[in-house]
Amino acid sequence: MNERQRTLPRVALIGNPNCGKTTLFNALAGQNKKTGNWAGVTVNQTQARLVRHNTQFTLVDLPGIYGLSLADLSQDERVVKQAIERGDIDLYVNVLNANNLERGLFLTSEVLDLDKPTVLVLNMDDERAASGKTIDTQKLAAMTGCPVISTTAIKRIGLVALFDAIAAHLASPDHVPHEHTELPADIELPAADSPAAAIKAHLQRSEDVLADSKRIFEARFEQSLQLAQAVTHTAETNTEANAQASSHTAFNQVDQWLTRPLTGTLAFLLAMYLMFFFAINVADVFIDFFDIAAGALFIDGTKQLLAAIHAPDWLAVVLADGIGAGIQTVATFIPVIGFLFLFLTLLEESGYMVRAAFVMNNWLHRIGLSGKAFVPLIVSFGCNVPAVMATRQLARQDERIITTLMAPFMSCGARLSVYALFVAAFFTEHAALIVLSLYLIGVLVAIATGLLMRRTILPGKPDPFVIELPQWRFPGVRHILKSTWHKLRGFIVDAGKIIIVIVLILQLIASIGRDFSWGNEDIDESLLAAGSQIATPLFAPMGIDEDNWPAVLGLFTGLLAKEVMVGSLDAIYTKSIEETDASIGEQLLAAVQTIPDKAVGLADALVDPLGMSLTEIDAVETMAENQGVSSQLFGILQDKFSSTWAAYAYLLFVLLYFPCVTVIATIAKESGKKWAVFSATYSTAVAYLIASGFYQVVMFKNQPVFASLWLLGSVLAMGVFYGVLKRHAKQTRQQTIPLHIT
């Protein structure tokens, strides 16, 4: 927060989840923050400086909560209470769902007890009108002592009136008396600055805090209900007939199907199928365009510009092969993440996502997670990056971290290109079975990770999954596109900075020759190759011989992105380096041409969004060849790997080890650098133990002594790791947590 923002008046939006509060903030501030249909979506207070005519103020969007006096169950409730306790809010704008006043007025009564200037906003007024209800806003204003404004934020209706009401309050900050909660006669409150402070002081000195808290809660709730009934009226028609007809509307019937265990699960799988289709196949139409265009502009274009001004070679390595290649890596993720966010935003804004979370809650509850965690895990099959970002939807920090640690083990679409290459070379008769086994192993390791974290360093049970089913909505196209762009821009700017730095470091190592010369073009003679040869003996337990060091180099390049592995393996095994004499303009034209060329295959992809057509080896070879690998690569792979078991162990390592730098950068952004380091280290260690353990089991007859010792050492290592986690968890639980009454 800069100095100017601190000196401006602060206006806070406060309200229940699903009242359209963040949508109203976006409409007023011209921004697109995360919106959703359950608590925990906005987990930080977001602010923007607003200027209209002669009025300036800082608008703060607080997370949605149901009440200030409820227990601190989630991060969003703590954020709101901390903001209130700072005492720097000049005006509260209490946003209510106009179609459900009964629920929202409980929080309103607590806000009024703060004794701060308050404006009531009846949002979603279009839904109120469609339901046949009318609200006497003048009576509501008289009974609360607050001005009342009706808005429909998503359609930008009522914004001018709201801004004028805010400006009027800020221009005349004199105190306006509010109607406060009427407590039972035998509860005597001490003198205090506000009724809220008086209630807090009373509870702190009460001999029976729970009993008094319950009585205050019941009194507040009853008055809120009476207030809602006093100002809300239903159209004078046959009420009983209307109620019966309403209960059998089409949407209610749809909800009955979507919330049942069987039909709801099938509907969710269908929704995820369509999401995969968009995220993998529709996005794939544009990936080559971004890849080729970014390479032409930021790599080839930069090199040509530097060559024209006779810049030194090291500068070309840094700017073109390093930063330019980093930008290219980020660019290739734009279609996947963009389409995924587009689809997720549509599901969220329509109201479906909360229904899916309700259905999947029973499955994930068994490993200590709520139903909301299922969406990020499913999204991981398309791409781990948006999956990690989707954990924002989880209210509790421990659930977000556990889901974040589980997500990278779900086999993303990028790994499929590596599977295709090795399946074509080694497993021609069991292609589909091999690929399916990798997907299932990833799921099992993810589940085991969730159970391990719950039993050690992140103990606890998911919160009771009480959730409100919002009305179905059809958000406008403009709103969906702007919200999607904001999420995508966040990835490009925040995660992209980290990605570019890591890509630059790896490219520098690859561009420095063994004689420490710059601009090394033969990857075989680079420091990266030398490092791979040094590291190769570490991979011997999983069947990689010393002369197969290019396989290790492929793992290093896979840190950038798993699909990069195929090109690097082809380059180092066959000693071929892809070069082009095309001009930048020709490359850009070629990039544009890839869009219609790839769009042709969308019809076939509709029945195979995950690429499971690998049941036919011809499809595998075609897929691998489409990646531009040399035809002799298959035979070289068969010669370099000692057996098909060694190749499968290698695939296990690819499945489970260090996710790409984009994922790690996103974890660092979402959960912190420590958890990003833990995820990278943990996943690589798990990959190493499982891949080497598998190879030692299948080769037990050939080398029983070594295999026995290795397996015993692996078991001991896992036992020590588990013991360390348990000890850390025990130390954490022994810490005293003070009780605060607010």
The DSSP secondary structure of 630-654, one letter per residue, reads -TTHHHHHHHHSS-HHHHHHHHHHH
Instruction: Band the pLDDT of 462: cuts 50, 70, 90.
Output: low
How far is C-alpha 129 from the geometric centre of its chain's CA atoms? 35
| pLDDT beyond 70 at 70 | no
Q: Are 664 and 499 in contact (CB under 8 A)?
A: no
In a domain, 356, yes or no: yes
Classified as helix, coil or strand, 231 is helix
DSSP letters of 147-178?
Answer: -EEE-BGGGTBSHHHHHHHHHHHHH-----PP
Percent of the chain with pLDDT over 90: 21
In a domain, 254, yes or no: no
In sign, the C-alpha dihedral spanning 521, 527, 528, 532 is positive
Whether residue 141 sits in one domain with residue 111:
yes
Whether residue 178 sits in one domain with residue 75:
yes
Classified as helix, coil or strand, 407 is helix
Q: Which of 284-298, 512-526, 633-647 has the lowest mean pLDDT?
A: 512-526
In a domain, 734, yes or no: no
Q: Which residue has the higher pLDDT, 520 or 144?
A: 144
Q: Which pLDDT belongs to residue 609?
A: 56
d(CA 151, CA 162): 8
Whether residue 567 sits in one domain with residue 529:
yes
User: What kind and span of H or E run contains 276?
Assistant: helix 261-276
Across 699-718, average pLDDT: 91
Q: Which amino acid is at 669?
A: K
Instruction: Band the pLDDT of 241: cuts 50, 70, 90.
Output: very low
Neighbouring-strand partners of residue 477: none
Q: Are 283 and 335 in contact (CB under 8 A)?
A: yes
Whether residue 675 sits in one domain with residue 533:
yes
Instruction: Quote the DSSP letter at residue 541.
Output: G
In a domain, 486, yes or no: yes
d(CA 265, CA 171): 54
Q: Which pLDDT belongs to residue 131?
A: 76
d(CA 473, CA 436): 37
Q: Are 718 and 691 in contact (CB under 8 A)?
A: no
Whether residue 411 sits in one domain with residue 307:
yes
CA neighbor of 40 nearest in space, from 354, 388, 450: 354
d(CA 567, CA 554): 9
d(CA 105, CA 601): 54
Question: In the sheet that 10-15 helps form, which strands lie side by side, from edge to edge?
Answer: 46-52, 55-61, 10-15, 91-97, 118-123, 148-150
Q: Which amino acid is at 386?
A: P
Q: Are 285 and 598 in contact (CB under 8 A)?
A: yes
Task: State the Rg of the chain over Cα.
Answer: 30
Instruction: Band the pLDDT of 52: cuts 50, 70, 90.
Output: confident
In a domain, 728, yes or no: no
Name the packing angle between helices 673-698 and 431-455 (round to 10°).
130
CA neighbor of 419 nearest in space, from 623, 235, 220, 592: 623
CA neighbor of 376 nearest in space, from 365, 364, 363, 391: 391
Q: Residue 669 corresponds to which tokens in the numbers above?
A: 């952004």
Across 28-36, average pLDDT: 59
Residue 71 CB neighbours (<10 A): 8
Neighbouring-strand partners of residue 365: none
Q: Which amino acid is at 685?
A: A
Across 473-494, average pLDDT: 76
Whether residue 70 sits in one domain with residue 108:
yes
Whether residue 139 sits in one domain with residue 94:
yes
| pLDDT beyond 50 at 247 | no
With tokens 């969710």, the residue in question is 268
Q: Which pLDDT belongs to residue 731?
A: 67
Classified as helix, coil or strand, 209 is helix
Q: Which residue has the higher pLDDT, 473 or 605?
A: 473
Q: Which pLDDT belongs to residue 5?
A: 45
Residue 181 CB neighbours (<10 A): 17
Neighbouring-strand partners of residue 52: 55
Could you tell me which residues come within 8 angstroms of residue 723 by beta carbon, excluding any fewer than 6 positions away?
Answer: none
d(CA 291, CA 365): 41
Model pTM?
0.63
Most confident of 222-226, 486-490, 493-497: 222-226
Whether residue 363 sits in one domain with residue 227:
no
Q: What are φ and ψ of residue 206, in 5° steps?
A: -70, 145
Instruction: Band the pLDDT of 36: cuts 50, 70, 90.
Output: very low
User: What kind and span of H or E run contains 551?
Assistant: helix 549-557
Mean of the per-residue pLDDT values of the chain: 80
Final residue of a domain: which of 210, 245, 280? 245
Q: What is the pLDDT of residues 286-337, one digit of tens each?
A: 888 988 898 899 988 999 999 899 888 788 888 887 888 888 878 877 887 7
Neighbouring-strand partners of residue 55: 52
Q: Residue 508 corresponds to which tokens in the numbers above?
A: 């520098």
Q: Which pLDDT belongs to residue 384?
A: 85
Whether residue 392 sits in one domain with residue 456:
yes
Instruction: Band the pLDDT of 679: cuts 50, 70, 90.
Output: very high
What are the b/e assignments for 488-498, b being 16+ CB within 10 Å? bebbbeebbeb
* CATH number of the domain where residue 117 is located: 3.40.50.300
With tokens 């602060």, the residue in question is 10
Across 328-353, average pLDDT: 79
Q: Which of 51-55, 638-642, 738-742 has the lowest mean pLDDT?
A: 738-742
Instruction: Band the pLDDT of 162: cuts 50, 70, 90.
Output: very high
Residue 165 CB neighbours (<10 A): 20
d(CA 705, CA 438): 28
In a domain, 179, yes or no: yes
Neighbouring-strand partners of residue 51: 56
Final residue of a domain: which of 661, 677, 699? 699
| pLDDT beyond 50 at 739 | no
- Count structural domains, the chain: 2
In a domain, 739, yes or no: no
Pairing of strands 55-61, 46-52: antiparallel
Whether residue 322 sits in one domain with residue 230:
no
Q: Are 355 and 322 in contact (CB under 8 A)?
A: no
**Range of the structural domain that residue 303 is part of:** 265-699
d(CA 122, CA 104): 10
CA dihedral 343, 349, 351, 357 (to 10 degrees): 60
Q: Are 99 and 470 in contact (CB under 8 A)?
A: no
Whether residue 280 sits in one domain with residue 232:
no
CA neighbor of 417 nearest in space, from 523, 564, 552: 564
Final residue of a domain: which of 189, 216, 245? 245
In a domain, 155, yes or no: yes
Q: Residue 590 corresponds to which tokens in the numbers above?
A: 């070629």
Whether residue 402 sits in one domain with residue 550:
yes
User: What kind and span of H or E run contains 48?
Assistant: strand 46-52
d(CA 308, CA 316): 12
